[in-house]
Amino acid sequence: LEGRDIFGIAQTGSGKTAAFALPILSKIIGLGTKRRPKTARALILAPTRELAVQIEDTIKLLAKGAHISTALVLGGVSRYSQVKKVAPGVDILIATPGRLTDLVREGDLILADTKWLVLDEGDRMLDM
């Protein structure tokens, strides 16, 4: 909540997603609902599709009723539908590295305004 960089390690099922999501949600709620097109206020990178889906499910549950927009972008799914979801701008973008790179390279996503970055299982992404 103080805006500092952190690094955390914990076992599966210990609440890591809530630990990074709740402070981000708190800050986003304070910003209001106006978003810039093709941007994400927060970016959460996950190494696998399965983890990305799980993170989005948890964030949606934690943000229920808070008018927080999320988008999930990952390979193996229609690129067009994902571009459409990101086009108006989102509060939280959950992505896998390959699809994120694709959207940025094609100009469908601009990261200049992203305020928060989470690398979930960053050690696994470095091994990729």
- Residue 3 pLDDT level (bands cut at 50, 70, 90): low
Residue 20 lies in a domain: no
In the DSSP assignment, the letter for residue 7 is: -
Residue 106 lies in a domain: yes
- Residue 15 pLDDT level (bands cut at 50, 70, 90): confident
Give me the pLDDT at residue 128, please. 64
> Is the per-residue pLDDT at 33 higher than 80?
no
> Is the per-residue pLDDT at 57 higher than 60?
yes
Between CA 14 and CA 49 the distance in angstroms is 20
Residue 55 lies in a domain: yes
45: domain range? Answer: 34-127
114: closest CA among 41, 31, 30? 41
Q: CATH number, domain at 54?
A: 3.40.50.300
Residue 46 lies in a domain: yes
Give 78-125 as a 3 state SS string.
CHHHHHHHHCCCEEEEEECHHHHHHHHHCCCCECCCCCEEEECCHHHH
Number of separate domains in the chain:
1
